[in-house]
Structures are given as structure tokens and as C-alpha cells.
Structure 1
């Protein structure tokens, strides 16, 4: 297996990813957060590293309907991210990994009735988490 090429910009990006593991983010989010923290950290460096980390399986890459950019989620701790559904709080952005047993019958029904298969790794159910819901009370 090819060894990882570690640079200061890559390490800054990975540090950001680990600190924000439960949220979705864009390349711009990373660039804004780590701006000024390292030489050689420009837009192309961020995109190149995100693409490489996606191919390595450390990021889930997807497109959201309401965001005009590619979104990412750190998935190193959840290596089977493409095998289960996710819910995302529309207020704080936190991502929840959901148990697939809840969706098995719905997935079968969708396949039987509509001929469509759920792409779990790219499927996100929007929600409002307990923390955000309780803030408004």
C-alpha cells in the first residue's frame, strides 16, 4: 500500500476534519477555518487534499440540494459510512449515523414499487436535533 504523503497543509486539513467529524462541510469552510495557519494552504491545495482523502475512504463526498457546493463528511471513524443512512440537523449541521434496520423495509418497498435502490452513502435525512429543538423552548 502506498504511504500517505504528509505535509503541513494536509495535517491542518485533517485536524479540521477530526475537530468537525459530526458536521458536513465544504472546501470553503475548511479554507476559511485554517486560513493563515499554514504556508501553501490555498484553494487548490484544499481541493486536492479533499479529493485524495475521499479516494482513501476518509471522507464521504456528496452534493446537497440546498448547498451550491460539494459537501464532505469525515468518515475515518465510520468506515462503513456508505452502508448506512445519515440524518443531518438543519440548524447546527451535526450528522447522525442511523441504524439501517429502520430503513430495510422502506428500501425493499422502494425497490419493489419504484425500481429504485437507496444509495445510503449519499442519502441524508434532514432533521432538527434534540439540542437545537430544546434551545427554542
Structure 2
């Protein structure tokens, strides 16, 4: 078993993701943040830490339509993100976990009508949240 080192970069990355747990960030966003706050952080360090945190279930990664690459978000209490849909505010970037009976109905209806098994963890509904509307 490999020893885990608690580096400044890893601690800062984790702290940033925890403080912004309602949003996801690209690796480039995270690299830029860390480089502004810690000397000597490089892309390899960021990707290595992101991979390890994903393996440990501390963060999860997902794709967004119209964007290349992965986005990363702190897991909070949601470690089962493949069993529900997600919503994202197109203005502020806030992410929502959509867990409702209509999700099950939607999944069944798509399967019945189109013969398509929905991958809920990769399903993203984009809109504008109440805070941004007001």
C-alpha cells in the first residue's frame, strides 16, 4: 500500500472543493487556483491528486455537454451519483442532485419508448436557479 503524503497542494485542493461543494471545476480551473496560491504546483500534481481523491470517493468526476474534459466536485453526502440526475444553473454554475419519483418514471418511459437505458449519473438538466432568476 502506498503512503499518502499530505502536501500543501492536496490540502488546498481539498479545502477549495469542500468550500465550493455545490459546484464542479475543471482540472485547469483547479490548477489555476492552486498556482495562484501555492508555489511550485504543476499540472501533474493536480491530476495525480484528483485521480487519488476520485479513487477514494472524496470527490467525483463527471462530464458536461459542450465541454471537453472532466469536471470535479466534492462528494459531500452524495457518493451514489450514478443513481440520480443532476441539474446545473447556467448562470452561477451551482449543481443540484435531482432525486425524485419523476426520475424513475422518466428512466422507465425512455426505456419503454426508445429502447434506451438512461445513464442517470451522466444526465444533466441545465436551467437557471431561483437565486439567479431573482
TM-score band by shorter chain is 0.7 to 0.9
> Scaled by the length of structure 2, what TM-score is found?
0.88
Residue of structure 2 equivalent to 1:54? 54
Residue of structure 2 equivalent to 1:89? 89
Give deviations 1:26-58, integer Å, cap 9, x for gaps: 011111122243344211111111111122222
For 1:120 and 1:6, how far apart are their aligned partners in 2?
A: 34
* Structure 1 residue 38 corresponds to structure 2 residue 42: no
> Scaled by the length of structure 1, what TM-score is found?
0.86
**Contact 2:84-2:103 at 8 Å conserved across structures:** no
Unaligned runs of 5+ in 1: none
For 2:82 and 2:5, how far apart are their aligned partners in 1?
A: 25
Q: What SS class does the counterpart of residue 57 from structure 1 fall into?
A: coil
Residue of structure 1 equivalent to 2:119? 119
Between the two proteins, the alignment pairs up a number of residues equal to: 134
For 2:122 and 2:72, how far apart are their aligned partners in 1?
A: 10
CA RMSD of aligned residues (A): 1.9
* Structure 1 residue 110 corresponds to structure 2 residue 113: no
For 2:2 and 2:97, how far apart are their aligned partners in 1?
A: 30
